[in-house]
Structure 1
Amino acid sequence: MAILGKSLLLLLVLVAPAPAVADQAWLGLYQHDITTSETKFEDGQDIKAGWIGAPLDRLRAIGRPSPHAIASISLKGQTNYVAAGLDWTIGSTLYLRVGIGLALHDGPKRAYRGGRRVDLGSPILFEPELAGGWRLNDRFAIEGSWIHLSHGRLFSHQNRGMDSGGVRLVYRLR
């Protein structure tokens, strides 16, 4: 739990000015570790919350992405994480949101199932994300979302990754 506490503190420092520029906030319910592989080692549901900032004009060269931050809490007391990164949104009423970020988690350092190592391999992970959404009105949208955690074997040879899928309600703040 110590890494999660440090991670939350780091996230708060990074996004402290964010409320002034936050464009959207969301809350969602996700299925935890939805992989179909034999390396699955956790289950249950997560509550995830996040914010998405206004598009960054200074990053026009890469399509004006929006910054994002996520906090994920496992309802079964398993792996929790915080993440921050960038999102690109394509479309308006019906839209696709693609994102990439970095995550810090508090999952086990070593875990085995059937004699195979199934832990995430590093406390620092990439956080690619894909969401499809429907803007219901000027303030609310609903999204179906997939989030993956992995380090692509950059930080160790162990890299099982973890997927979660869910639904979230998005609220536009301004």
Structure 2
Amino acid sequence: MKKLFISATCGLLLAAPANAGEVFGGLYIHDVDTVSTKSGIEDGVDIQLGYRGGHIGSTPLQPYAFGALNTNGETSYAAIGMSAHFGRRLFVRPGLGLAIHNGSDSNFNRADKIAFGSRILFEPELGIGYHISDRASVEASWVHLSHAQLFGGQNPGIDNIGVRFGWKL
């Protein structure tokens, strides 16, 4: 499964021109209890680092891959997916991907960790940002992980909210 995930990540990143991509990084509040989760039990800050490829043709679509490491040793994850970029200076960036995590994949309630019910999760996200210059951008973003109850009735999900800084290569 890990080899498939790594192969898919490489394929997505190679699909876009190398000179049109950007690197990004950010800090996220881990496991924020929102209306889209039944969680809020893990702590810490996530440090996120990733790469976003250039636009695919004349579409707003861009492939991405990133990893998020939790500073408290809670659930960390890596994701690949597609985002879309709408707007010029001020922009909105919705995205949808798949993530693999090191948290509990059990399908029962736990008091100490989120029981995600699956090792592979959907990873929808939404960012609202501003291009500081031609190369630099900053965005506030929300990243959600869950399996949408496809792998069982239990699906607490997790929301991480933070800020990213991007730099075009």
Unaligned runs of 5+ residues in structure 1 are: none
Q: Percent identity?
A: 38
1:105 aligns with 2:131: no
Contact 1:70 1:84 (8 Å CA) reproduced? yes
Q: State the number of aligned residues.
A: 164
1:146 positional shift? 0.4
Q: Which runs of 5+ in 2 are unaligned?
A: none
RMSD over aligned Cα atoms:
2.5
- Give how far 1:51 is off: 1.2
- TM-score normalized with structure 2 length: 0.85
Q: Is contact 1:7–1:104 with CA below 8 Å preserved after alignment?
A: no
CA contact (8 A) 2:20 2:55 kept: no
Structure 1 residues 137-148: aligned runs within 5 Å: 137-148=133-144
Q: What residue in structure 2 maps to residue 34 of structure 1? A: 32
Aligned partners of 1:139 and 1:171 also within 8 Å: yes
For residue 109 of structure 1, report the CA deviation from its aligned partner.
2.9
User: What CA deviation, in whole Å up to 9, does each residue of 1:91-117 have, x standing for no partner?
Assistant: 010000000001111102345129xx9
- After TM superposition, the score normalised by the length of structure 1 is 0.83
After superposition, the C-alpha distances for 1:12-41 in whole angstroms (9 at most, x for unaligned) are 544563682551110101000001566322
Alignment of 1:89-168 (within 5 A): 89-110=85-106, 112-113=110-111, 118-168=114-164
